[in-house]
C-alpha cells in the first residue's frame, strides 16, 4: 500500500510547474500522477518517493495537501489488463473511486494506482487472485 499526496491547487498558469519545481528542489521523485481540474481549483494526486516530506515542503509553500492510502497493482502490458482487474473487483462488489497509471521501474510493467473506500480489503482480494500489490 502506498501513500499518495493530494494537492489542492489554483487552476492558473505556472501553478503545476511550481509544485513540480518544489518537489525537484527537495529531491522528491514523482512516480505517478493524475490531475483533475475545475474552473478555479484542481486536485493533483501524486505518488512520490517521499510523501511525508512532499506534504511538508508543499505545505510550507502555501499548498493545502493531504495524504491518502492507495493501492498499486502491477499488471501485464497487454490489451485488457485493466479490464481483468476491474472485473475481479466488480465480482467482489468493490467500487473504484479513481485509477491512474504508473510503472514498475525495475520490471517496466504497468502499475495501476487505485483508490477505494477499503484499500486493505481490495489488496487482499487482488493478492488472493494472484496480483502483485504494493
What pLDDT score does 36 carry?
A: 84
8 A C-beta contact, residue 93 and residue 128: no
The C-alpha angle 78, 84, 88, rounded to 5 degrees, equals: 160
Cell of 106: 525495475
What pLDDT score does 69 carry?
A: 95
What pLDDT score does 125 carry?
A: 93
What pLDDT score does 105 carry?
A: 86
What pLDDT score does 38 carry?
A: 74
Q: List domains and CATH numbers for the chain.
A: 2-67 (3.30.2130.10), 70-133 (3.30.70.260)
What pLDDT score does 1 carry?
A: 79
Residue with the three cell numbers 525495475: 106
Q: What is the mean pLDDT of each run of 10 residues along the chain (134 residues)?
A: 92 92 97 84 94 97 96 94 94 93 90 94 93 90
8 A C-beta contact, residue 126 and residue 88: yes
Q: Which of 45, 44, 38, 39 is nearest to 15 (CA)?
A: 44
What pLDDT score does 112 carry?
A: 94
Element (H, E) at 116: strand 110-116
Amino acid at each position: 500500500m502506498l501513500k499518495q499526496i493530494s494537492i489542492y491547487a489554483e487552476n492558473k498558469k505556472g501553478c503545476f510547474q511550481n509544485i513540480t519545481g518544489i518537489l525537484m528542489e527537495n529531491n522528491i521523485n514523482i512516480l505517478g500522477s493524475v490531475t483533475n481540474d475545475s474552473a478555479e481549483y484542481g486536485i493533483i494526486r501524486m505518488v512520490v518517493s517521499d510523501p511525508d516530506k512532499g506534504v511538508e515542503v508543499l505545505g510550507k509553500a502555501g499548498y493545502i495537501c493531504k495524504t491518502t492510502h492507495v493501492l498499486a497493482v502491477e499488471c501485464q502490458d497487454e490489451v485488457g489488463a485493466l479490464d481483468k482487474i476491474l472485473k475481479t473487483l466488480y465480482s467482489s462488489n468493490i467500487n473504484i473511486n479513481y485509477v491512474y497509471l504508473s510503472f514498475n521501474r525495475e520490471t517496466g510493467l504497468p502499475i495501476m494506482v487505485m483508490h477505494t473506500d477499503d484499500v486493505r480489503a481490495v489488496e487482499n482480494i487482488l493478492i488472493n487472485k494472484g496480483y502483485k500489490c504494493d
